[in-house]
Structures are given as structure tokens and as C-alpha cells.
């Protein structure tokens, strides 16, 4: 029977970083089995597996099954840029909502350590002095040099500067301060790839990748995986008191793409589809941005975090600079943002990120976030965006059980 009552029963992530001794299946299996244990269930209880992986070969879900349990259930292999993990979770959620299955498992995993500079499609950019035309988009030489909108750093650098040109108030130092916040937050997160505080001078003085983003202001390529078990409210009622207590309600699950705009043929629009997703999510959940106790947003670059304050309506339109300067997004501010350390510190194994952001929110709502716990957190929002473009927004609430 169809239902709108969806809960995350179990969730897990591996420590992000370099895992030379594990392949992509090992990482996914580690996260999946831990999520099942966290939910107090097994693969026998799962009616669907949605497996997200961007950089590897096809059939990842079937490979994963061989390690965690081949029960004959349908497997959906998901690839949707940086929104891959969130899309895998939404796939499992939709299967439960339809009434087709009682429980579903979503996994996102990636091996990215040492991948180098990534292009808009998530692939490592070939470093060569010789231009080789290839494919639909490669038949025309880029006009913006070796590092520009053909790569993620260049795209998001321009996104941030475009915001500044429109609304004013941005500076190199402002973006560096956003990165300073996230690196400070990371020192409390043992699952982050990097747990190091940087001074503002260190951030501004590091290697420039694409102005105004220096190296510490960019997301860290690394290995990692995350997984979640979802079920319906009806099934949850049949489970133990502890399972009900720790379950997290999914009040909204939204996936959008960018509507056609002429300007998108030059620079991807990461703003409209995020604002659209947030608008739908707030309506689905019956909450407003002021109800949020914490937010994990897609800070693939410091410039991206600034514009998404606005896109997620955490501030009035055009007010992202004032929002940050007020101290609101620090962990002791009125709307803590990226208390995990964000992608700049926690790391960004592309397909795992969407579920890992939700992992962070769930732990605060459960009261299990340790030293970085946001006191009495009840409602949180997780956001990811992938160039191409795709945006996933989930609003989560503490269980009333």
C-alpha cells in the first residue's frame, strides 16, 4: 500500500580518506553492512538495492550484492553526478512509498583519491599540451584556457563571482573565511578526511586553483562510501522501541534538474534548480528555513557555499554575505551549516556524498553526534548538487517515537 510516511532506519558511512587496501566493492560493502546493523535488520529484509557509483564500470550494484548477499531483489545502478548518492536514496524511498517493498537499501561509493582535477562530468581531466577533439562537446576547443568552466573549480569560481557582481560584498577574504569555518568544524569530526584547523592567512596563501578558490577552499578528492536503510511508518510500528526511537523521518525528498536557460549553454546554473528543490522540499515537509536546526550543503568550493545560503533561502535574496558575516552558519550560530567540516574537510567521494550529508544530519537528530552535537536538534536539511545538472534536497526530522 502506498505511503507518504518514510523513515531512515539505519545509516552509516566509512571514514573518508585514502583506502589503498580496499576497492569500490569493499567500501560499499562496509557501509552497507554497517547501515543494516545500525537499523537492526539484514539483507533478507531488503526489497530493493539502489547502488550509486560514478567513476567505475557498470553493474556496481550486482558486484556489491555478491559481497553483502544475493537475495534476488531488484538492483538499480545509479549515476547522477555529485547527486548520485541522494538519487540512490530517493530511488529506495520511492520504492517504499509506492508500497512495492517494505524496506530498501541505498549505497553510494567512490574511489577518488589521487583523481586530480575533475571536469564537469566527474572524470579526471587529461593533462596534455595537445588538443584532441573528441565527442559531442570536445569537438570545439574551450575558449577559457586550461582551467575554466570546462572544470569544476572554474565553474564554481565563476558562480561565486557572478553572485558578487549581482549583489556585491564578496571578496577573496570572505570566501576564505567560509573555508576557515568548515576546517574549524572538521576538527570535531573523526570521520572527516582532514581534521585540521587552518588560519585565514594559510588559506589565502595556499595554491590558487581557480580564483578566488585556493586549495583548502576546494573539496577533497578521496575514497569513501555511505549507505542507508529506509522503511515505511507502518513497518516501523512493528519494530522494537529502540528502532522506533532512532528512526529519522524523511519529511521531504526532492530531486530537480535545471530548466532550460540560454545562459546555461555557457555557465551551468547551480542556483535555479537548488532554489526549486528547496521550495518544493519546504512545502512537502511543512517547514520553513527558520525551522532548520542545521544544514549540510554542497560546499564543493567555498564559492558554492555562499550562493547556496541564498538558494536554500537561509537568508533573504541577495543576503548571503550578511548571513555569513552575522555568524549564523558557525556551529554556535542560529543556522549551523556544515558542522561536519563540509566537503572541503570531510572529503567528497562523489557518489557517497549525498548519503554522507544525510548521515551527519541523522546523527544530530538522534543526539549521537558526539562533541559536535547541535543541542536539541529536531529538523535538518541535506543538499547536494551535481553539474549537468542535478540537485537533491532532503528534510529530516527527529522521530516522535
**3-state DSSP call for residue 164?**
helix
pLDDT digits (tens, 9 = 90+) for 42-57: 999 999 999 999 988 7
CA distance linking residue 65 with residue 296, whole number of Å: 30
Question: Is residue 121 one of the residues assigned to a domain?
Answer: no
Helix (H) or strand (E) holding 386: strand 379-386
Rg (CA), the chain: 20
Tell me: do 74 and 205 sit in the same domain.
no
Average pLDDT for the chain: 91
233 and 258 in a single domain? The answer is no
Q: Is residue 128 part of a domain?
A: no
Same-domain pairing of 54 and 180 = no
Structure confidence at residue 145 as a pLDDT band (50, 70, 90) = very low
Residues 6+ apart with CB under 8 A from 119: 125, 150, 151, 152
In a domain, 105, yes or no: yes
One domain for residues 356 and 391? yes
Q: Is the pLDDT of residue 317 over 90?
A: yes
Work out whether strand 75-78 and strand 49-52 pair parallel, antiparallel, or are unpaired: parallel
64 and 13 in a common domain: yes
Judgement on whether residues 16 and 87 belong to the same structural domain of the protein? yes
Q: What percent of the chain has pLDDT over 70?
A: 89
The answer as to whether 372 is a domain residue is yes
Single pTM value for the model: 0.92
pLDDT at 143: 46
- How many helices (H) and strands (E) the chain has is answered by 14, 11
344 in the same domain as 245: no
Asked if the model's pLDDT at residue 125 lies above 60, the reply is no
Domain harbouring 241, CATH code: 3.40.47.10
Residues 100 and 182 in one domain: no
Over pLDDT 90: what percentage of the chain?
Answer: 82
71 in the same domain as 33: yes
SS3 188: coil
The tens digit of pLDDT for each residue in 229-260 reads 999 999 999 999 999 999 999 999 999 998 88
d(CA 373, CA 213): 29
Residues 227 and 306 in one domain: no
Torsion of CA 359, 299, 296, 37, to 10 degrees: 0
Same domain for 306 and 325:
yes
Q: What is the domain extent for residue 65?
A: 6-115+222-250
Q: How many domains does the chain have?
A: 2
Same domain as 228, residue 213: no
Pair 302, 164: CB distance under 8 Å: no
Amino acid at each position: 500500500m502506498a505511503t507518504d510516511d518514510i523513515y531512515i532506519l539505519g545509516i552509516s558511512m566509512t571514514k573518508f580518506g585514502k583506502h589503498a587496501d580496499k576497492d569500490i566493492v569493499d567500501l560499499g560493502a562496509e557501509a552497507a553492512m554497517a547501515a543494516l546493523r545500525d537499523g537492526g535488520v539484514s539483507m533478507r529484509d531488503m526489497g530493493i538495492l539502489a547502488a550509486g557509483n560514478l567513476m567505475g564500470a557498470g553493474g556496481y550494484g550486482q558486484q556489491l550484492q555478491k559481497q553483502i548477499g544475493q537475495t534476488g531483489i531488484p538492483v538499480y545502478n545509479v549515476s547522477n553526478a555529485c547527486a548520485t548518492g541522494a538519487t540512490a536514496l530517493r530511488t529506495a524511498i520511492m520504492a517504499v512509498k509506492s508500497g512495492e517493498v517494505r524496506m530498501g537499501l541505498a549505497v553510494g561509493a567512490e574511489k577518488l583519491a589521487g583523481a586530480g582535477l575533475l571536469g564537469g562530468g566527474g572524470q579526471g581531466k587529461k593533462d596534455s599540451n595537445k588538443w584532441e577533439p573528441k565527442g559531442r562537446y570536445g569537438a570545439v576547443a574551450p575558449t577559457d584556457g586550461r582551467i575554466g568552466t570546462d572544470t569544476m573549480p572554474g565553474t564554481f569560481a565563476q558562480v561565486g563571482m557572478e553572485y558578487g557582481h549581482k549583489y556585491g560584498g564578496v571578496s577573496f577574504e570572505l570566501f576564505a573565511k567560509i573555508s576557515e569555518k568548515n576546517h574549524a568544524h572538521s576538527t570535531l569530526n573523526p570521520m572527516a578526511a582532514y581534521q585540521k584547523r587552518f588560519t585565514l592567512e594559510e588559506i589565502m596563501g595556499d595554491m590558487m586553483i581557480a580564483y578566488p578558490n585556493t586549495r583548502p577552499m576546494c573539496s577533497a578528492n578521496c575514497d569513501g562510501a555511505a549507505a542507508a536503510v529506509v522503511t515505511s511508518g507502518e513497518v516501523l510500528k512493528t519494530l522494537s522501541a529502540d528502532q522506533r526511537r532512532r528512526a529519522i523521518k524523511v519529511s521531504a525528498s526532492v530531486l530537480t534538474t535545471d530548466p532550460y536557460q540560454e545562459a546555461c549553454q555557457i555557465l551551468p546554473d547551480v542556483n535555479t534548480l537548488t532554489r526549486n528543490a528547496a521550495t518544493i522540499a519546504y512545502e512537502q515537509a511543512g517547514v520553513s528555513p527558520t525551522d532548520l536546526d542545521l544544514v549540510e550543503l554542497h560546499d564543493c568550493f567555498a564559492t558554492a557555499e555562499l550562493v547556496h545560503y541564498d538558494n536554500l533561502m537561509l537568508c533573504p535574496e541577495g543576503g548571503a554575505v550578511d548571513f555569513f558575516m552575522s555568524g549564523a552558519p558557525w556551529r554556535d550560530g542560529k543556522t549551523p551549516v556544515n558542522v561536519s567540516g563540509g566537503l572541503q574537510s570531510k572529503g567528497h567521494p562523489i557518489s557517497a556524498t549525498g548519503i554522507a550529508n544525510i548521515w551527519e544530519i541523522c546523527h544530530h537528530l538522534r543526539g549521537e553526534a558526539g562533541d559536535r552535537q547541535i543541542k536539541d536538534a529536531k529538523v535538518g536539511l541535506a543538499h547536494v548538487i551535481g553539474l549537468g545538472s542535478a540537485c537533491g534536497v532532503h528534510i529530516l526530522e527527529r522521530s516522535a517515537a
